[in-house]
């Protein structure tokens, strides 16, 4: 089976449902609280595995209750965790997430052990990276490790999918544009390019500037509006099904994992984006990040 290697973060999500966002200095009664597995890297890996792919996750965890629980979850879903290792000196990453009734969220991340995903850690996983069909990256781990991953993957001729999330002003644009697939949301696209991304024509123009700079295909995720695929000669809009949104946390990661799984199985970009849009929309109808992911059709057939 063709394999995906995700290099990225693991977090325990600490999710509080709020009637509205609190003001500065205000104490507000919340509607509920839950913990659940998260982190952009792990979310994308778990979504890809749920969609039937063979997936390795390169990540770092603390040697604590959160870290042990996350690792158990990765094993349960069938990830290759040979490079999902604990570090002695840092706690597992956490994300404090406030979710409004509309499903919109605000997230605060404490990197913890994710800061331990160093260049050396990536180099130790080089064989796993080189054996992959597709390497998937985000920005919740040190940028030097991201750059080293792109170097190793590119030198081995492995396709790289780069998700520039969360948006970081210190990201080297040329590094991002070395990717076969560059997958930002509207906000990340605007920060990457310095161009507006409000109207769909703006999104296309900004994405095309990244293609001109070297990115293979730019896929802009548009939330409830689906996704826009932009290549040198064309732009195609893939709409999303309308659903009753409960929680958008981790929906972008679900999109990336589902796209990666579909693409390594059959390299048809439009079909893979359509599958990813549908998968991500479905996850927004349930609470949580990984907790909202279900097995896709490919995995259901094998069980
Ligand atoms: O993209 C959603 C993720 O962002 C959450 O699971 C949280 O851990 C933060 O990393």
Task: Specify the CATH class of 3-301 in words.
Answer: alpha beta
Distance CA 246, CA 244 (A): 7
Residue 250 near residue 267 (C-beta atoms within 8 A):
no
Residue of 13, 80, 247, 253 marked active site: 253
Res. 49: pLDDT tops 80: yes
Nearest alpha carbon, ligand 1 atom 10: 39
**Residue 8's closest CA among 83, 159, 114?**
114
**What one-character DSSP code corresponds to residue 238?**
E
Nearest alpha carbon, ligand 1 atom 6: 38
Instruction: Kindly report the average pLDDT of the chain as a whole number.
Output: 96
pLDDT of amino acid 296:
87
Instruction: Provide mean pLDDT across the span 234-253.
Output: 96
pLDDT of amino acid 89:
95
- Cβ atoms within 10 A of the Cβ of 108, count? 10
**Residue 222's closest CA among 202, 203, 195, 250?**
203
Q: How deeply is 180 buried, as exposed, middle or buried, from its count of CB atoms within 10 A (0-12, 13-18, 19+)?
A: middle
pLDDT interval class at 299 (50, 70, 90)? confident
Instruction: Output the CA 293–ligand 1 centroid distance in Å.
Output: 13
Instruction: Provide mean pLDDT across the span 93-118.
Output: 95
CA distances for 242 relative to 108, 226, 274, 282, 287, angstroms: 28, 10, 14, 9, 17
Helices then strands, counting H and E runs in the chain, come out as: 11, 13
**Residue 146's closest CA among 188, 187, 117, 169?**
117
Closest atom of ligand 1 to CA, residue 12:
8
- Confidence (pTM): 0.96
Q: Locate 107 and state its tokens.
A: 């997230």
Q: What is the pLDDT of residues 227-240, one digit of tens each?
A: 999 999 999 999 99
Instruction: Output the CA 250–ligand 1 centroid distance in Å.
Output: 6
- Enumerate residues 6+ apart whose C-beta is below 8 A from 250: 38, 43, 283, 288, 289, 290, 292, 293
Res. 109: pLDDT tops 70: yes
**Can you give the residue ranges of every domain in the chain?**
3-301
Q: What is the pLDDT of residues 132-176, one digit of tens each?
A: 999 999 999 999 999 999 999 999 999 999 999 999 999 999 999
Closest atom of ligand 1 to CA, residue 93:
8
Question: Is 253 designated active site?
Answer: yes
Res. 302: pLDDT tops 80: no
Nearest alpha carbon, ligand 1 atom 2: 250
């Amino acid at each position: 089976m063709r394999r995906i290697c995700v290099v990225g973060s693991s977090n325990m999500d600490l999710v509080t449902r709020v009637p509205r966002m609190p003001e500065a200095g205000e104490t507000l009664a919340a509607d509920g609280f839950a913990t659940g597995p998260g982190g952009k890297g792990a979310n994308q890996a778990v979504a890809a595995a749920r969609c039937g792919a063979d997936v390795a996750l390169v990540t770092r965890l603390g040697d604590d209750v959160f870290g042990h629980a996350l690792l158990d979850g990765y094993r349960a879903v069938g990830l290759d965790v040979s490079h999902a290792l604990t570090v002695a000196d840092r706690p597992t990453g956490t994300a404090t997430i406030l979710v409004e009734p509309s499903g919109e969220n605000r997230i605060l991340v404490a990197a913890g052990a994710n800061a331990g995903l160093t260049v050396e850690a990536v180099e130790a996983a080089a064989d796993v990276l080189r054996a992959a069909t597709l390497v998937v990256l985000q920005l919740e781990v040190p940028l030097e490790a991201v750059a080293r991953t792109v170097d190793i993957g590119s030198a081995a001729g492995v396709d790289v999918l780069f998700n520039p999330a969360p948006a970081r002003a210190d990201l080297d644009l040329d590094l991002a544009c070395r990717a076969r697939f560059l997958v930002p949301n509207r906000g990340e696209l605007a920060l990457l390019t310095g161009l507006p991304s409000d109207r769909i024509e703006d999104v296309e123009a900004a994405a095309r500037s990244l293609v001109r700079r070297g990115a293979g295909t730019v896929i802009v995720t548009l939330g409830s509006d689906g996704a826009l695929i932009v290549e040198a000669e064309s732009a195609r809009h893939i709409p999303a099904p309308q659903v009753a949104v409960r929680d958008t946390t981790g929906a972008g990661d679900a999109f990336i994992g589902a796209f990666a799984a579909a693409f390594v199985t059959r390299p048809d970009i439009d079909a893979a984006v359509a599958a990813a849009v549908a998968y991500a929309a479905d996850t927004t109808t349930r609470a949580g990040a990984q907790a909202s992911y279900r097995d896709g059709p490919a995995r259901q057939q094998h069980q």
